[in-house]
Amino acid sequence: MDGFHDLGGVQGFGKVAHAIDTDSYKPVFHEDWEHLAYGLMFLGAAHLGKFSIDEVRHAVERIEFRQHAGTRYYERYVIASATLLVECGVITQEELDAALGAHFQLASPARSGGRPAITGRAPFEVGDRVVVRDEHVAGHIRAPGYVRGRQGVVLHRTTEKWPFPDAIGHGDTSAVHQPTYHVQFDVKDLWGDAADDGFVVVDLFESYLDKAPAGQAAGAPARPSRQPVAA
Amino acid sequence: MSTHAAATATPTPGQRAWALFQVLKDKDLIPDGYLEGLTDMMAHQFDPANGARVVAKAWVDPAYRALLLRDGTAACAQFGYTGPQGEYIVALEDTPTLKNVIVCSLCSCTNWPVLGLPPEWYKSFEFRARLVREGRTVLRELGTALPDDVAVRVWDTSAETRYLVLPLRPAGTEGMAEEQLRALVTKDVLIGVALPRVA
């Protein structure tokens, strides 16, 4: 989903409000309600078993654009859990409105039913040059937009497998389990000279990738690739 | 017709959270002690002191260091530092020419059991948008200026791998015991935005 949440590389933001080693990390929760955000999320996901954490991420992504920009971090997880609990029939919008004494704005409905993983292919190997599939997905996906269509090098294939987010993020509990790959990109290949030198490694599910064709691929950056840093 | 965000921003975040809590409580869906137990785990058991213990041991024990880099999950499990949001752990080894830094551009994913819950600045739109694209600039603004011959490698936590940075052991710590070394490894060092500093 090409939503507000997909922030990697977006320009116009100011400085990060932090100086190293200055903030105390305690207390972890600053206000008396903040523990409820993850607490009620786990209640719905783990205790009641009504949804997956992937669906929570997708519900956060579905928060309307302007509301998303204006909400605080923990607030978005309260809205997401409330949305999912209403969608799966545990609670109702009317009950939330009554408890709040105002309209409880939930996230927007999903615009997609999700999609299955690609199966039947050979796994990729460390050192392979891969390309992120150039596809737009209306539902949940865990590939940030900035690597779409770009080439990188595999540094690691996980020894475990997990349900495909584009399926489990829509409640498909039959989602295929796949490994993920740590794929390293040259930052200059992603944003040209409007970026710092360096590398970015993205943890990508197998279904997001194809093996890069030999030679210059369509959609690949025109500049010659730099030497990747060894894993 | 309003096109302004204020139309949806009237109730406070806390009011929304307690409203959801109340609806669930009225339906008797929250077991006694459930939220208290989770909160204790998130606020007290998940702590960057855990990651500091892992790093300090890796600095003094070559066999443990090798395990940490080969199988981070097993190395952290030796201390019991695995759990929710820390089930597949990979340690990122800094070298004299490479600085690793962690972000989650899509939300806030963090290795909770080892690093503790993420701080506000890590979850900010600014850090999420900028680090992947201008890592060296962001680090300098935060207070970590790196020489040009040190490459910045940003790890975007976009699936189930949860990371910690294994920084270089700083000069001047040759005589330090493992317990003293732990104090040099802050939460920001584990995220990768800071270098361990000898006072």
Give per-residue pLDDT as tens, A152-210.
999 999 999 999 999 999 999 999 999 999 999 999 999 999 999 999 999 999 999 99
Backbone angles phi, psi at A125, to 5 degrees: -115, 155
Which residue in A36, A70, A160 is closest to B9 by CB distance?
A70
Is residue A88 pLDDT above 60, yes or no? Answer: yes
Q: What is the pLDDT of residue B3?
A: 47
The per-residue pLDDT for B7 is: 46
> A88 at the B interface (CB within 8 A)?
no
Work out the burial of residue B84: count CB atoms within 10 Å of its CB; fewer than 13 is exposed, 13-18 middle, 19 or more buried. middle
Q: What is the pLDDT of residue A207?
A: 98
How many residues belong to chain A? 231
- How many angstroms separate the CA of residue A163 from the nearest CA in chain B? 10
Mutation target among B107, B127, B132, B140 for the A interface, most CBs of A within 10 A: B132
Which residue among B48, B157, B161 sits closest to A25, beta carbon to beta carbon?
A: B48
| Distance from the first to the final alpha carbon of chain B | 59
What is the rounded distance in angstroms from the CA atom of residue A74 to the CA atom of residue A35? 9
CA angle at A197 for the pair A221 and A143, rounded to the nearest 5°: 55
pLDDT of residue A216: 54
Q: Which of B76, B107, B124, B158 is flagged as catalytic?
A: B107
Band (A217; pLDDT cuts 50, 70, 90): very low
User: Binning pLDDT at 50, 70 and 90, where does residue A223 land?
Assistant: very low
Q: What values do phi and psi take at B90, rounded to 5?
A: -125, 130
Which of B76, B109, B124, B158 is catalytic? The answer is B109
A63 touches chain B (CB under 8 A): no
Complex ipTM more than 0.90, yes or no: yes
Contact A160 B125 (CB under 8 A): no
Using CB atoms, which residue from B8, B34, B142 is nearest to A43?
B34
> Which H or E run includes B191?
helix B187-191
- Rounded to the nearest angstrom, the minimum Cα separation between B178 and chain A is 21
Distance CA B193, CA B191 (A): 6
How far does B80 lie from chain A, in Å, by closest CA? 19
Nearest to A44 by CA among B34, B145, B176: B34
Residues of A in contact with B9 (CB under 8 A): 67, 70-71
Q: Is B108 a catalytic residue?
A: yes
Contact A20 B142 (CB under 8 A): yes
Q: How confident is the model at residue A23 (pLDDT cuts 50, 70, 90)?
A: confident
CA distance B59 to B94: 12
Chain B neighbors of A229, CB-CB under 8 A = 98, 151, 153
Percent of chain A at pLDDT exceeding 70: 93
Among residues A77, A146, A181, A208, the one annotated as catalytic is A77
* Closest of B199, B99, B186 to residue B151, by C-alpha: B99
Contact A130, A185 (CB under 8 A): no
Question: Quick one: pLDDT at residue A24?
Answer: 86
Distance CA A188, CA A199 (A): 8
DSSP string spanning A52-92? -HHHHHHHHHTS-HHHHHHS-HHHHHHHHHHHHHHHTTSS-
Digit-coded pLDDT (tens) for A111-161: 999 999 999 999 999 999 999 999 999 999 999 999 999 999 999 999 999
Nearest Cα to Cα of residue B189 among A15, A198, A21: A21
Give CA–CA dist B118/B70, Å, rounded: 25
What is d(CA A126, CA B174) in angstroms, rounded to the nearest whole number?
Answer: 36
What is the pLDDT at residue A224? 44
Nearest to A197 among B24, B43, B136 (CB): B136
Query: Averaged in consecutive runs of 10 residues, what is the pLDDT profile of chain B (199 residues)?
Result: 49 97 98 98 97 98 98 98 95 98 98 97 98 98 98 98 98 96 98 95
Query: Range with the lowest mean pLDDT among A88-92, A214-218, B137-141?
Result: A214-218
A67 contacts A103 by C-beta, under 8 angstroms: no
Three-state DSSP class for residue A42: helix
Q: Do B127 and A199 touch (CB under 8 A)?
A: no
B17, A37: Cβ pair inside 8 Å?
yes
